[in-house]
Amino acid sequence: MNIDSIKNGIVIDHIPAGRGMKLYELLGLGSLDCPVAIIKNANSSAMGRKDIIKIDADIEVNLDIIGYVAPNVTINIIRDGKLAEKKSIGLPTILTNVIKCKNPRCITSTEQELAHIFRLENAEERIYRCVYCETKATADSQ
């Protein structure tokens, strides 16, 4: 398998195995008009197996989505073929329009233009709560 290096873009590394496609979908990478590579189940000495996403374009990515789906990933910003910046991402404390409240009585069900906002309640168990109705959402249940 041969995947070219990128000149200017982003490499999302250390994604837990199996979560790369979910990130691809939530970030809307399928609609990009540039090369995007998803490497699934790559060998990793630290993780055993991991996924990697390479985007050959200098675009903005939603760090909240990345932190929610795969906390502890590394984002490498590549410029002129060299590593320009490296970021570590953790769980976001506030999620806005990343997940939707499943409570049919929540105000977000009737007020369509209202943002879906969740706050982190328990980082260890990855539990979020809707700020309007307190409905629980876990990162693995969405």
Digit-coded pLDDT (tens) for 13-44: 999 999 999 999 999 999 999 999 999 988 88
Q: Where are the domains of the chain?
A: 9-88, 94-138
Q: What contacts 16, CB < 8 A, 6 or more positions away?
A: 47, 50, 51, 70
Residue 110 has pLDDT above 90, yes or no: no
Among 2.40.50.100, 3.90.180.10, 3.30.70.2200, 2.30.30.20, what is the CATH number of 94-138? 2.30.30.20
Q: DSSP assignment, residue 44?
A: E
3-state secondary structure of 84: strand
Give the mean pLDDT of 116-128.
94
> Any bridge partners for residue 87, and if so which?
75
- The CATH code of domain 9-88 reads 3.30.70.140
